[in-house]
Amino acid sequence: MASPGVCMSILNARKMKDGFGTFTNPERFNNQDFEQLKQYCQIRQVRYIDEMFPPDRRSIGEGVLSPSDLMRVTWNRPRKIVSNPCFEVDGISRFDFGQGMLGNCWILSSIGALTFQSVILKQVVPPEQRFDEDYCGIFHFRFWRFGKWVDVVIDDKLPTIDGNLIFVHSKNPTEFWPALLEKAYAKVCGSYSDMNAGTPAEALVDFTGGVHICIDLKEPPKDLWEMMCRAGQSKSLMGCGTPQGETSANTVLPNGIVQGHAYAVTGVKTTLSQGQQVNLVRLWNPWGEGEWKGDWSDTSMLWNTVSPEDREMCLKKRDDGEFWMPLEDFCRFYSDLDICCMCPEFLDENSSCHWKTAFYEGRWVAGTTAGGCMNDLDSFCTNPQYRVKIDELLSGCSSKKVEKNMLVSLMQKPDKRNRRLVKNLHIGLYVFEVTEEFKTQRGKFSASFFSRNRPVAQTKTYLNGREVMELLMLKPGEYLIVPTTFKPNETASFILTIVSKAETHVQ
């Protein structure tokens, strides 16, 4: 068994080629086989207990509960909490649950978005899990983690105080899929406390294995509304967050918006009000309550100015955490919008064009392949280099409108399992055009190339987050992509994702 805090199963290229860790063939997290473990328990007529994520204070972690509350925790199976537990009741919905004592709104808002996409939902939450005659206290869920899909096994012992769930809880006390899903994600993060604080982007990627695009709502693109409409139609997941503000996080403003909080975007709609077109965004608060109080809120008189059909379709006067607000107020009160999808086809007005995705694994190693940013020009050339040839767009994909034709994402991979112990480096990437005089170059490009050529694109800033990405418009030709840390001689692993509208060839 690996030492505490060490990631026990990091993907390597050979495993991917053999088909393990894919959407259809997830890798066993911690090498635990769900079917074998379930069969073992059934034959011996015992209830499963997960030794890899034991029902004790180690799995809760530090800093979430006070010492006195931690002493009161008991781990109970659903059948000890209620007499008639169910995995799900009348399907799976965002309205099933509310946030508990954990600051993991970034995960729960993403789960809310996930419930709209049945194909991905069935991947993350395998169906046909029941408290029936085959029940033996074992469940499993699937997540995408740093380049691979993993199947995560858990027992169903859940942390309670005085018989009540202390973390996420269903509004129907007999329904347990939200608490079990949260426990499985806590396991891959290291503990419940390792889920405390984060961004929707991280969970959205882990629930889809897809491409993430972040939009700064303080400087939104001109076609933001059209982009959101296409994203909603293309089975994308959308989440957003509010600024921290000057006071502590989770402060509720007079308008009902929570500071430093994550929400799910659950719908977009255009309606006519007094002859004027209004673009509305529907949002959901993972608390399961607490809503916007401004224009187009549940109690707004503006709903009397739209057609009866739109009013009937949109207006639900209940405190369930979901509400509508105009796009202008959305950009005003929210800081960023995260869109995550299997493929960024929503960026195109032309839906007939298909984007292609490729993953590449790499590593910066101090002293050899960790050259730092262009401030350190002498060592910069030692960084990993990816040479890309971009072909002409097919006629069906070309457009007179200037648009993006490539997305490049750089994600650093942790060397520790416990999320709170991961120290992200400041990372970024550069893109250089390979001009005619260098096209015969073989192998890595030397310092002379970078001293004579300026990047045609680069990340706006170096971030110490899990991922940075750039949307690019590159004409046909050859390019060099260089992922880097800000400082030289920093060791870390990474995944470079290249999503291209045109045919590309990578060395």
273 with 361, same domain? Answer: no
Q: State how far the Cα of 23 lies from the Cα of 29, in Å rounded to an integer.
A: 14
Residues 6+ apart with CB under 8 A from 475: 390
Residues 178 and 287 in one domain: no
Q: What is the pLDDT of residue 15?
A: 36
Q: Identify the domain containing residue 68 by its residue range.
A: 13-208
Q: Identify the CA nearest to 99 among candidates 126, 64, 71.
A: 64
Assign 213 to helix, strand or coil: strand
Residue 54 lies in a domain: yes
Question: CB neighbours of 174 closer than 8 A, spacing ≥ 6?
Answer: 82, 84, 85, 86, 89
> What contacts 184, CB < 8 A, 6 or more positions away?
139, 140, 141, 143, 152, 154
pLDDT tens digits for range 128-152: 899 988 899 999 999 999 989 999 9
Boundary-marking domain end, from 313, 340, 367: 340
CATH of the domain at 421: 2.60.120.380
Task: List the structure tokens of 493.
Answer: 């692993």
Task: Please name the amino acid found at residue 119.
Answer: V
Residue 154 lies in a domain: yes
Which of 30, 104, 285, 405 is flagged as catalytic? 285
261 catalytic residue (yes or no) = yes
Residues 304 and 387 in one domain: no
For residue 8, the model assigns a pLDDT of 24
177 & 188 share domain: yes
Instruction: Write down the catalytic residue from 41, 76, 104, 105.
Output: 105
- The reply to whether 2 falls in a domain is no
Q: Do 358 and 336 fall within a single domain?
A: no
Reply yes or no on whether the pLDDT at 309 is more than 80.
Answer: yes
Same domain, 37 and 108: yes
Cα separation, 23 vs 209, in Å, equals 8
The question of whether 418 is a catalytic residue gets the answer no
Separation between Cα atoms, residue 298 and residue 317, nearest integer Å: 5
Clarify whether residues 320 and 451 are in a common domain: no
Q: What separation in angstroms does the CA of 166 have from each of 65, 157, 170, 182? A: 10, 13, 11, 12
Q: Which of 140, 261, 341, 397 is catalytic?
A: 261
505 is catalytic: no
User: For residue 262, how far is the Cα from the chain centroid?
Assistant: 12
Residues 331 and 379 occupy one common structural domain: no
pLDDT in tens, 452-468: 999 999 988 898 889 99
What average pLDDT does the structure give for the chain? 87
pTM beyond cutoff 0.85: yes
Query: How many domains does the chain contain in total?
Result: 3
- 44 in any annotated domain: yes
CA 438 to each of CA 143, 374, 380, 386: distance values in angstroms, whole numbers, following the listed order: 42, 19, 17, 15
Residues 83 and 167 placed together within one structural domain of the fold: yes
Q: Mean pLDDT, to the nearest integer, of 60-70?
A: 91
Domain harbouring 271, CATH code: 3.90.70.10
Domain end marker among 150, 181, 208: 208
Q: What is the pLDDT of residues 388-436, one digit of tens each?
A: 888 877 655 655 554 678 889 999 998 888 888 888 999 999 999 998 8
The tens digit of pLDDT for each residue in 3-52 reads: 332 222 223 333 344 456 888 899 999 999 999 999 999 999 999 999 99
CA proximity to 486, closest of 375, 379, 382, 409: 375
